[in-house]
Amino acid sequence: MLIVQKYGGTSVGDLERIRRVAGRIARYRDQGHDLVVVVSAMSGETDRLLNLAYELCPDPSPRELDMLVSTGEQVSAALLAMALKHIGYQAKAYVAFQIPIKTDALFGKARIQDIHTEKIRRDLDQGNIVVVAGFQGISETGDITTLGRGGSDTTAVALAAALKADLCEIFTDVEGVFTADPHIVPKARKIDRISYEEMLELASMGAKVLEIRSVEFAKIYGVPIHVRSSFTDEPGTMVVEEDKSMEKVLVSGVTYNRNEARITLHGVPDQPGVAAKIFGPIAEAGIVVDMIIQTSRPDGKADMTFTVPRTDYQKALKVVQNVEMDLGIEEIEGDKDIAKVSIVGAGMRAHPGVASKMFQVLAEHGINIQMISTSEIKISCVIDEKYTELAVRALHEAFHLESPVQEE
């Protein structure tokens, strides 16, 4: 089999762990598998590099920032290949431009466009284990890019798709995909099999165990993903096409996201074209808006509330302040300390009453809902950040996610 494996930051967090990962890869090799291994930076390294940059200047150049943060993965790739050679296995480490893994030029959130596989195939044919630095790419103009936080997952799945690998294994610090973040909900249950679609919603709603784009890639190219622990040999979670053997559950998981901020515009003229005048400049500033709610008032004006990534909060405030006078907006206010709590499940399609139960549970715990959004298979509520854990645990309990069979 040709297997692409990815080891996350904690799994390669120190030399002892790198040695252990090398040992695991060696066992696979002994079984006759061809292996391409993608690594993240050692845990904490990407944050350390980002902190250095922001300590130096508040607004570092995106090009140089990518050049800086991409180095973490180069270190772990080189160390892992060394560790493999040290125990007698042929291995070769690469950074993205050597492959090359080509991306667009959107620094910090580049998209993979093309992966050349010739070099990897040649190395595999010669008996090498190929180690690739995750999270990075090279633009058409030869600049180093990065794919966004958690992007090594995407490198791995994209490589698996390009190489038509039999399997993509994501090794991380938990035993698979759980019904909620196991670090917040001790009773969370490991899900054995989950569809791409549900996984995509879980990832989009904050379950960072898989990066969103990696799931998109897997879904488009039909790459089976096995999410599992790098510290045990227990099977983890298979992320695959939806099939009949999957648990028919109403709700498959509860997620949270603390990376957004809310902005509210009071007294916006309720006229055609106003929303475009507000969200046009926000889009031009490269800010991605998530939820939007507009409520009409009896006085012919409207209140408009929306969420943006927390890192873009100040920038977004400035943008709306620029159009405040022009549009005659009465007041602008916002809150950075919010959290979005969501429940996800394919079973919701056919069952009414899930949303009302969610609202009821939050109400019983005295948690005020600031915003609501729904899709076919998820419901999200924006709440005060300080209630995040309470809300996630309460919802997990109320929907009986700790036991495999839920009443429908």
- Given the rule CB under 6 A, which residues bind ligand ASP? 8-9, 40-41, 46, 72, 134-135, 149-153
Residue 302 CB, nearest approach to ligand ADP (Å):
36
Site string for ligand ADP, 314-353 (x = CB under 6 A): ----------------------------------------
Residue 150 sits in the site that holds Mg ion (CB under 5 A) = yes
Residues 167 and 130 sit within 8 Å (Cβ to Cβ): no
Residue 97 or 135: the one with the smaller Cβ distance to ligand ASP is: 135
Residue 194 or 329: the one with the smaller Cβ distance to ligand ADP is: 194
- Rounded to whole angstroms, how far apart are CA atoms 77 and 281? 41
Residue 334 CB, nearest approach to ligand ASP (Å):
26
72 binds, among ligand ASP, ligand ADP, Mg ion, none (CB under 5 to 8 A by kind): ligand ASP
Site string for ligand ADP, 156-195 (x = CB under 6 A): ----------------xxx--xx-xxxx------------
DSSP character at residue 105:
S
166 binds, among ligand ASP, ligand ADP, Mg ion, none (CB under 5 to 8 A by kind): none
Residue 45 or 312: the one with the smaller Cβ distance to ligand ADP is: 45
DSSP character at residue 41:
P
Residue 150 CB, nearest approach to Mg ion (Å):
4
Residue 135 CB, nearest approach to Mg ion (Å):
10
Beta-sheet pairing, 2-7 with 34-39 = parallel
Give the 3-state DSSP-derived string for 192-233, with helices as H, strands as E and coil as C: CEEEHHHHHHHHHCCCCCCCHHHHHHHHHHCCCEEEEECCCC
Residues 255 and 200 sit within 8 Å (Cβ to Cβ): no
The sheet carrying 253-257 orders its strands as 253-257, 338-344, 378-384, 371-375
Residue 113 CB, nearest approach to ligand ASP (Å):
19
**SS3 (DSSP) at 402:** coil
Alpha helices (H) in 87-175, listed in sequence order: 118-125, 152-162
Given the structure tokens 């998820």, which residue do they identify?
Answer: 378
149 binds, among ligand ASP, ligand ADP, Mg ion, none (CB under 5 to 8 A by kind): ligand ASP
137 binds, among ligand ASP, Mg ion, ligand ADP, none (CB under 5 to 8 A by kind): none
Residue 65 CB, nearest approach to ligand ASP (Å):
13
Residues 131 and 84 sit within 8 Å (Cβ to Cβ): yes
How many Cβ atoms from other residues are within 10 Å of residue 15's Cβ?
Answer: 11
Residue 83 CB, nearest approach to Mg ion (Å):
21
Cis previous bond, 235, omega within 30: no
Residue 40 or 139: the one with the smaller Cβ distance to Mg ion is: 40
- Rounded to whole angstroms, how far apart are CA atoms 342 and 4? 31
Residue 176 sits in the site that holds Mg ion (CB under 5 A) = no
Distances (CA, A) of 80 to 43, 75, 90, 378: 14, 9, 12, 40
* Window 204-223: residues binding ligand ADP (CB under 6 A): 207-209
46 binds, among Mg ion, ligand ASP, ligand ADP, none (CB under 5 to 8 A by kind): ligand ASP
Q: Which residue is nearest to ligand ADP (CB)?
A: 8
Residue 92 or 109: the one with the smaller Cβ distance to ligand ADP is: 109
Residue by residue, DSSP assigns 256-313 as EE-SEEEEEEEEEE-STTHHHHHHHHHHHTTPPP--EEEEE-TTSEEEEEEEEEGGGH
- Strand ranges, E, within 2-142: 2-7, 34-39, 91-94, 101-103, 112-115, 129-133, 136-138
Residue 40 CB, nearest approach to ligand ADP (Å):
5
Residues 150 and 170 sit within 8 Å (Cβ to Cβ): no
151 binds, among Mg ion, ligand ASP, ligand ADP, none (CB under 5 to 8 A by kind): ligand ASP
- Rounded to whole angstroms, how far apart are CA atoms 279 and 15? 48
Site string for ligand ADP, 240-259 (x = CB under 6 A): -------------x------
Please report, as ranges, the residues that interact with Mg ion according to CB under 5 A. Answer: 150
Please report, as ranges, the residues that interact with ligand ADP according to CB under 6 A. Answer: 8-11, 40, 150, 172-174, 177-178, 180-183, 202, 207-209, 253
